[in-house]
Amino acid sequence: MKLRDIPFEVVDWADVRPTEHPGESGLALWRTRTFGDVRVRWVQYSPGYVANHWCDKGHVLLCLEGELNTELEDGRRFVLRAGMSYQVADGAERHRSSAPRGATLFIVD
């Protein structure tokens, strides 16, 4: 990822209108800003959220609150709690998320 042609800007995420993304169960609210080719999101998963797809997009993800369960297609499972992060490259390992008790995430992709 190259960060180019992005002027300095402060984002108040409370002012960014959320979009709803239903999961297999539960709901994800995304507050999204795009800077060139870089998408930056503040994401809130409702309690009981389960993704409705396998994702192969690369991310840098930081868990801000709650707990995020991430399953890789090969069966490995990881639990992220507040203050933990993961990173994965585009096309590297398909993954999907769930948040039994809800979670708030900051994601750059």
Give the pLDDT score at 4.
85
Q: Mean pLDDT over residues 70-96, rounded?
A: 96
Evaluate whether the domain defined by 34-101 bears CATH number 2.20.28.10. no
The whole-angstrom separation of Cα 102 and Cα 87 is 20
* Least trusted range by pLDDT, from 4-8, 44-48, 86-90, 99-103: 4-8
Q: Mean pLDDT over residues 37-60, rounded?
A: 96
pLDDT at 74 over 90: yes
This model's pTM is above 0.75: yes
Give the pLDDT score at 3.
81
**Domain extent listing, the chain:** 34-101
Q: Of 63, 27, 21, which Cα lies nearest the Cα of 45?
A: 27
pLDDT at 31 over 90: yes
Give the pLDDT score at 100.
97
Give the pLDDT score at 5.
86
Instruction: Write the CB contacts of 62 (distance below 8 Å, at least 6 apart in sequence).
Output: 84, 85, 105, 106, 107
Give the pLDDT score at 107.
98
